Structure 1
Amino acid sequence: MTGAAGAPGSSGSSGAPGPSGPPERIPLDLLDPATVRKRSRMVAVGALIVAGAFGGLVGLLGGQTAGLVTAAIFGVPLLLLAVSEARRRVWLEGSVLSVRAYGTRVVDLKTADSLDVLVTDTRGTRTVGLFARGGHKAINLALALYAGTGGRELGIYPLRTLADVLASRGDAQSLALSELLVAQLRAEARGAAAADRPLYRLGSLAPSGKLAQKLKPEAISRFVAQLD
């Protein structure tokens, strides 16, 4: 994770879409490719260790075949997870949010059935994401992750574009989400510390002890209404 304490790093591109032609593809990957590859290698190494440990134990008790089968049962899913993590890319084209791993899933944010804020808590690192569901597909877009007083956030241009897309929906919940992102941009422009930024503060509202939880729309609306 990059970004100094109290001054989170940003990822994303800058520039403006052209006056004509297809919509600009805006990368929305929170972590840079090098960091993602490093994390994927760690998952792969962990998968081999776990598979070897369980496979070896079962092999001692039940023979070589049983050990190999056990190793495969534990190792293959984790290795697939590592490969998926390494291949994962997220981007926005117009209002269409896409994520690619083994295949590509797309959700049009303008026509999505639901948009929620999802907070995940893993080993002291909280990730605040936009959970979009539509067309029997779902995508969790990480907006920011924080550990202690530092973290990583999407860049200015991606956040601004997302705010505009959400505002174009016109419903109260989407407008509140758009205002949340605009407030985040203002805090970043002021040079606010991580703990004073809206996404950090919103993520802190989620009770600890749960791996993942959606924040209620009314709670988000109240939070946004209290922002400066």
Structure 2
Amino acid sequence: MSPLLTTETTAPVRSGADVLDLAPVIPVVVVDTVEQAVPLARALVRGGIPVIEITLRSEAGLGAIEAVATEVEGMVVGAGTVVTPEQVQQVKDAGAQFIVTPGSPPRLLEAALDSGLPLLAGASTLTEMLTLAEAGLEAMKFFPAEASGGRPYLSAVAGPCPQLRFCPTGGITPQTAPQWLALDNVGCVGGSWLTPKDAVAQGDWARIEALAAEAAALRQPTG
């Protein structure tokens, strides 16, 4: 089935750089059942977060991506924890509008680039970052963010690689997110705190909507 996304709802994403500009925080979501995905995604949209990364860490991941892509207007749905070339094709078939990988081994990177979908490939070292830059990527995922040197490391990366922009993910909290977003080379952050497991299990969509609204307010429009 074709995704609902149109220019009348949310602007289409054509690159990883476009993904970074959708919201200050990309919710990184694990769902236990496909049925949880649609009301969860709608709560995020109501709260002002029009992007979601549904990971393949559960058996419900693929079905959840397809459900959100086909049923939730105004939501850009990406597939996270994509670790094999075969999964690249699976998430594309499910309707994912971008791909997020934790790393970038050659076969996975080639498959992701060949898919034509926007890609946020994971990198934690300058060699990995420069390898992705050689492949034509200027936006990427910095993972695991806190464990890989945190904000001081990523700030230092801006010296030799001023053209690169990042979505740091891993260990980021509501308290530290503003400090990450203050870095010139950070477009957004990834976090799981917008969709707490207990809130998802209980169907507490109002709580998720409130958390989304708080996250959306982390970066106010300028001008």
| TM-score tier (shorter) | under 0.3
- TM-score, length basis structure 2: 0.25
Considering fraction of residues, name the structure with more strand: 1
Say which one has the larger Rg: 1
Q: Which has the higher helix share?
A: 1
